[in-house]
Amino acid sequence: MIGIKKILFTDKNEIQKCFKIRKTVFVEEQNCDPKDEYEFEEESIHYLLIKKNIPIATARYRKTKNGIKMERFAVLKAERGKGYGLKILQQMILDLSCLKAIKYLHAQEQVVEFYEKVGFKKIGEKFDEVGIMHYKMILE
């Protein structure tokens, strides 16, 4: 059984599950500095995908001066390629569909095609963010 929970920062138990996935993926696997990884948490709406009571994927969005930024998409390595990232992304897009604001994200270079398949378009040139090459992408 797969479920997706929408989580606020104030739900400390659930938010820690999101943070654990992000620590594994971004801090440990991709060597991101934890000080860069954990910011804007309180103002973000977090998502947690659970399979058989085990947290395996997470993401979040937040309002910025440029629109709604969708970010911190992370799936545990053993669960990648099974469509869980897509499930969270689709749920987030559905939840945000009533908002008129621009929806955008910063996609790591290797996952640009993943986001293009659901309607995101690259805007501008490739750029470095925390030592990883990204493209800004806007949902059309």
Rounded CA gap, 39 and 55, in Å? 21
Token pair for residue 134?
């990204």
Region 89-111: mean pLDDT is 94
- Beta carbons of 91 and 53 less than 8 angstroms apart: no
Model pLDDT, residue 18: 97
Using a cut of 0.85, tell me whether the model's pTM lies above it.
Answer: yes
Model pLDDT, residue 37: 84
Token pair for residue 64?
């910025």
Tokens 């669960």 locate to: 79
Model pLDDT, residue 44: 97
Model pLDDT, residue 33: 86
The DSSP result for 69-126, as a single string, is: EEEEEEE-GGGTTSSHHHHHHHHHHHHHTT--S-EEEEEEGGGHHHHHTTTEEEEEEE
**Average of per-residue pLDDT values in the chain:** 94
Is the pLDDT reported for residue 16 higher than 90? yes
DSSP single-letter state for residue 29 = I
Is the pLDDT reported for residue 38 higher than 90? no
Is the pLDDT reported for residue 35 higher than 90? no
Q: Which domains does the chain have, with CATH numbers?
A: 2-139 (3.40.630.30)
Q: How many CB atoms lie within 10 A of CB 63?
A: 14
